[in-house]
Amino acid sequence: MGHVPFHYRTLDELKAEAAVLSAFLPLSEDMGPLFEPLPLGDLSAPNRIAIQPMEGTDGLPDGTPGPLTVRRYHRFAMGGPGLIWFEAVATKPEVRASAHQLQLTEQNVGNYRRLLDEIREISMKACGSCPVIVMQATNSGRYSKPTGVPEPRIAYHCPPLEPEPLDDACVISDDEHKSFEDAYANAAKLAQLAGFDGLDVKACHRYLACELLSAYTRPGLYGGSYENRTRFLKNCYAAAAGAITANRFFLTSRLNVYDGFPYPYGFGVTEKSGLTPDLTEPIRLIHELREQYHIPLINITMGNPYKNPHVNRPYDHGAYIPDEHPLTGISRMMQGIRDITNACPDLPVLGSAFTYPRQFAGNLAAGMVQSKSCAMAGFGRMAFAYPSFIQDLRANGTLNPKQICVTCGGCAQLLRQGTPAGCVVRDREVYRL
Ligand SMILES: Cc1cc2nc3c(=O)[nH]c(=O)nc-3n(C[C@H](O)[C@H](O)[C@H](O)COP(=O)(O)O)c2cc1C
């Protein structure tokens, strides 16, 4: 079945459509499991709902959180999430995704510290709990736009992403990787000073560390074999680990276990699997990170927000109409999350892309946690539209259809324009296209 926009009035209608599509969509009306605490290494998340990283393109020119950044995190904190996965923060100025992407520096670390204190205080006052807070450290690689115009730095030429091949000068040399890796030591040092609980060595959505995972065609130290393709990510971990001084500070990743591109241009597929995920390598990588760096959780995602956003965040409205049913997209994501959970039973898995089922999104989150398909459910667009959704789930066991995200794509469009991103439907006094 092709693309069919959301039209379900009841949970039973949604279940019936999922059954027709043979979609894996565990749905539960019991919200209890979402409000159980979750041990994460030496820490504990007060509940099983996370805010996924949502870049707002609203930092000041030097990377300091701007007034709208502060407003977004205050709103997230009010809902009392179990974990906030703080948005992409650039590890070097030349690999910022926009002139307004956040960047943590010696000069502005105090501003971050203040914001984190406020987040914890607001959440404590509103809900009696403090979220675990992870900083996403990024190198935008192919999507670098430090002054607002593209300055791509790529792992290899990737035809699905390059209708016109980019200049060879965009390809990062083996030697250049070293300074990009070293930047993760500084990111870890500053993240600890700011008061984050952990650092995400971001490896998703085809930003640099993610793109390298599929660099089959790249010659040299960073391409070809599994060992070479994972070298950058592991070197970034080694650099960050060497800078850890704070007790209980941890490393983790938001990891694409599937990119949605065929071999030899995507991670999580094999020569023979076509576009069907094959999670053998992602599972091997997660085991290695767990063993070597004691990651206390892993955040699983898929797809590329530029080329195949329907894989990353199934939607009703976007730049193109996908040729798959949105519930099939959700099912691919939920199956991937479940398969990683089953393969790594001792490691808490945070799942992505829970927003699409609208007023039934809480039922999917509860169903996934209750069926032990993931340990924690992460919401992106819903948090922009309806920041108090966690309070409503806790208090009423349901979401208000008048406040939910309608997956219109407006927030992503604002992000692509390089203007502050937020909900153009539910928060339209602030955000307009
Ligand atoms: C405006 C916008 C900004 C985003 N920023 C980030 C980011 O900084 N880091 C990241 O890993 N993912 C980012 N994402 C992806 C989301 O975290 C999430 O994976 C995606 O929206 C799917 O989840 P959802 O269905 O709950 O929205 C962003 C998505 C949008 C729409």
State which amino acid sits at residue 109.
Answer: V
Please compute, for residue 222, the number of CA atoms within 13 A of its CA located in the half-sphere on the CB side.
23
Separation of 421 CA from ligand 1 center, angstroms?
Answer: 11
Nearest Cα residue to atom 18 of ligand 1: 380
**Rg of the chain's alpha carbons, rounded to an integer?**
20
Q: CA-to-CA distance for 369 and 351, rounded, in angstroms?
A: 10
Residue nearest to atom 25 of ligand 1 (CA): 353
Six-digit token pair at 360?
A: 């039934």
Q: Is the CB of 356 under 6 A from ligand 1?
A: yes
pLDDT at 1: 83
* pLDDT on residue 189: 98
Q: What was the pLDDT predicted at 115?
A: 98
Q: Is 214 in the pocket of ligand 1 (CB under 6 A)?
A: no
- Best mutation site among 55, 315, 417 for ligand 1, i.e. most ligand atoms within 8 A of its Cβ? 55
CA distance 260 to 267: 8
Q: Is the distance from the beta carbon of residue 355 to the nearest atom of ligand 1 less than 6 Å? A: yes
- What's this model's pTM, rounded to 2 decimal places? 0.98
Tokens of 29: 């009306």
Question: Ligand 1 centroid vs 358 CA: distance in angstroms?
Answer: 16
Q: What's the CATH number for 11-417?
A: 3.20.20.70
Assess whether the C-beta atom of 55 lies below 6 angstroms from ligand 1.
yes
Distance 54 CA to ligand 1 centre (A): 5
Pocket mutation for ligand 1, best pick of 91, 103, 313, 364 (most atoms within 8 Å of C-beta): 313
Task: Look at residue 397 in the predicted model and tell me its pLDDT.
Answer: 97
| Kind plus residue range of the DSSP H or E element containing 301 | strand 298-302
- What pLDDT score does 145 carry? 98
For the chain, list residues with pLDDT below 70. Answer: none
Summarize pLDDT for 155-182 with one digit per residue, the tens: 999 999 999 999 999 999 999 999 999 9
